[in-house]
Amino acid sequence: MKTIISKNEEKTTVETVDWLENIVRESARKMIAAALEDEVDQFIQQHLNRKDEKGHRLVVRNGYMPERQIMATCGNITIRQPRIDDSKLPDEERFTSAILPKFMRKTPTLENVIPTLYLKGISSNKFQDALSAIFGDSAKGFSSSTITRLKEVWQSEYDEWAQRSLADKEYVYVWADGVYCNARLDDEKLCLLVIIGVTADGKKELVAVHQGVRESEQSWLEVLRELKSRGLTKAPKLAICDGALGFQNAVDKVWGQMKIQRCWFHKMGNVLDKMPECVQTSAKKALQNMFMADKRENAEKAYNLFVETYELKYPKAVECLKKDHDDLFRFYDFPAEHWVHIRTSNPIESMFATVRLRHRSTKGNGSSTATLTMVFKLCKEAEKNWRRLKGFEKLRLVQQDMIFVDGLLAA
């Protein structure tokens, strides 16, 4: 049944929303005002006994400063800040509000909205319109130069992050992949080498975002050697990757022989690309039967059936599958709760969906440096929402080299 809303009901709804927003703003104003009063009173009490040679106090109340508007996510809030006369104090001791700094016109929460809008695909020249749509016509002071300054800050943040110490870090699993992005001022696509790791407590962390030359062994060697030089000396127990030999060869040289899990998402795509569309649906189902099997024995049966069914007519597809046989079924040697996480390099793929959205909207960044900086910031924003691995309690067992058979701890 279709619900019909009358104009009076619609008007009432709008008025109710406006009324609620006014309450929120007024409550915020009162809270800030009370906090400012308390902050000033505490400062005055601290200097209550300080007096000049004539017996006059060095710190006293002196009315209020002129009203000013603070842009917050709940709208514009009008604030009257208490004034203090402390001119006789040394400069380093004079009062500065920690709640409302002298030149602050936007709350820190609103400051976080600025990079978020840009990173989600709003072009610099449309930035003012986007903020006005959210906060009204009073949202002034933003321009393309604001974004330019932000990107300079992000570049500094990346440089500092890329040199951070990793001496206290140890990752149980790592996901590695190369992601290609457009840079309008460069002739070739930019290749970004990305590594995500998970610690023994199940927390996923961004480990590296590095500009490379395709997914070559030399590029990965540079990334891994740099990580090792900054303290990441202990090899993870498993690396999940897309099958590029560059990463696997580099890992062997830096951390020694370690277990590799071939990403099933990439492998299925590679195999199906070598088959005609008329059989791809059934072939995809057969491939899924392998990595969704409850134990290795059943996965091997599904594997043998695929080979028997398609090898004669589609030898290239079957050969593509065969060459990574051992690495495709490595996940059976780890806790079953972790399988959903380690069968694919999905943590990186899903994170870069946001990056690709940004690139479609803006047709790429101007330079490789701008692209690297933007991708880094996007990744760090995404990192805030990452959840711990399912069954993270068993990561300690993996770290201790306990043996798992078909996902279960061996007796």
Residues 367 and 329 in one domain: yes
Residues 182 and 121 in one domain: no
- Is residue 2 assigned to a domain? no
Residues 98 and 121 in one domain: no
- Is residue 167 assigned to a domain? no
Residues 77 and 120 in one domain: no
- Is residue 214 assigned to a domain? yes
CA 94 centroid distance within chain: 40
Q: Report the domain count for the chain.
A: 3
**Torsion angle in degrees (nearest 10) through CA of 27, 32, 38, 40:** -150
As a whole number, the mean pLDDT across the chain is 80
Confidence of residue 185 (pLDDT cuts 50, 70, 90): very low
Residues 40 and 147 in one domain: no
**How confident is the model at residue 2, as a pLDDT?**
47
Write phi, then psi, for 57 (nearest 5 degrees).
-65, 145
**How confident is the model at residue 55, as a pLDDT?**
84
The conformational region for residue 136 under phi > 0 = left, psi -120 to 50 = alpha, else beta, is: left
Residues 139 and 196 in one domain: no
Q: What angle do CA 187, 190, 191 make, to 5 degrees?
A: 145
Q: Closest Cα partner for 408 from 347, 307, 335?
A: 335
Residue 56: give the domain boundaries: 7-105
- Is residue 168 assigned to a domain? no
Residues contacting 320, CB < 8 A, separation 6+? 267, 270, 271, 274
Is 379 strand, coil or helix?
Answer: helix
Q: Closest Cα partner for 33 from 85, 95, 84, 77?
A: 77
Cβ atoms of 49 and 98 within 8 Å: the answer is no
Residues 42 and 90 in one domain: yes
pLDDT tens by residue, 245-276: 788 889 989 988 789 999 999 999 999 999 99
- Is residue 410 assigned to a domain? no
Q: Closest Cα partner for 376 from 183, 231, 173, 207?
A: 207
Decide which of 347 and 229 is more confident.
229
Could you give the CA distance from residue 223 to residue 220 in angstroms, rounded to a whole number?
A: 5
- Is residue 225 assigned to a domain? yes
Domain boundary among 90, 105, 120: 105
What is the DSSP secondary-structure string of 71-121?
EETTEEEEE--EEEE-TTS-GGGS---SSS-TT--B-HHHHHHHHHHHHTT
Could you give the CA distance from residue 275 to residue 283 in angstroms, rounded to a whole number?
A: 9
pLDDT tens by residue, 322-342: 999 999 999 999 999 999 999
Residues 120 and 214 in one domain: no
Decide which of 186 and 143 is more confident.
143
